[in-house]
Amino acid sequence: MDLNIILVYVPTSTSSEEEIKTFYEELEKAMSECTSQDPLIIMGDFNAKVGHHGNEKAVGKHGLGIKNEQGEQLVTWCDEHGLIIGNTCFEQPARRKWTWKQPGYNARNQIDFILVKERFRNALLSAKSYPGADCYSDHIPVIAKFRL
């Protein structure tokens, strides 16, 4: 069994619809290189807010904030590809949910995610952010524990 990890940076909301569409097409191409029976982790900066659990299978009930347009697109894409957004599945204090703070503002957002195949949901033991990490970025590391 191989573990497949894809690290992503999704274009921001100021990008054109065509750029975002191209990103998801390239991500699907990368996913096609992975076999369906192997664990797949897609993680990185999705520049999307998925908010709290709605009716989607992809989002857990412990997301942060309110879903935006890019969040809707991410959730739909995850539902279509059998993926879940891991760091929305575990109850955490708010300080362990946010992943990005806009410089100069106090608003904190959850825009970095760890996605896993729904099939491997039980292998995901925890996922949370670490706001105390000194990594010279306006983003906060998101860490997950897996049992494979």
pLDDT digits (tens, 9 = 90+) for 79-131: 999 999 999 999 999 889 999 987 777 888 999 999 999 999 999 999 999 88
User: Do 20 and 72 contact (CB within 8 A), yes or no?
Assistant: no
Q: What is the pLDDT of residue 42?
A: 97
Q: pLDDT of 60-72, one tens digit each?
A: 989 998 999 999 9
Domains and CATH numbers, the chain: 4-146 (3.60.10.10)
What pTM did the predictor assign? 0.91
Q: What is the pLDDT of residue 55?
A: 63
And the tokens for 113? Answer: 């995610």
- 1 pLDDT band, cuts 50/70/90, is confident
Q: What is the pLDDT of residue 54?
A: 63
Q: Which residues, 6 or more positions from 147, have their beta carbon under 8 angstroms from its beta carbon?
A: 123, 125
Q: pLDDT of 2-57, one tens digit each?
A: 899 999 999 998 999 999 999 999 999 999 999 888 999 999 999 999 998 666 78
Instruction: Tell me the backbone φ, ψ of residue 12, rounded to 5 degrees.
Output: -70, 175
- 138 pLDDT band, cuts 50/70/90, is confident
Q: Pairing between strand 4-9 and 40-45?
A: parallel
User: Do 84 and 7 contact (CB within 8 A), yes or no?
Assistant: no
Neighbours of 37 (CB within 10 A): 9
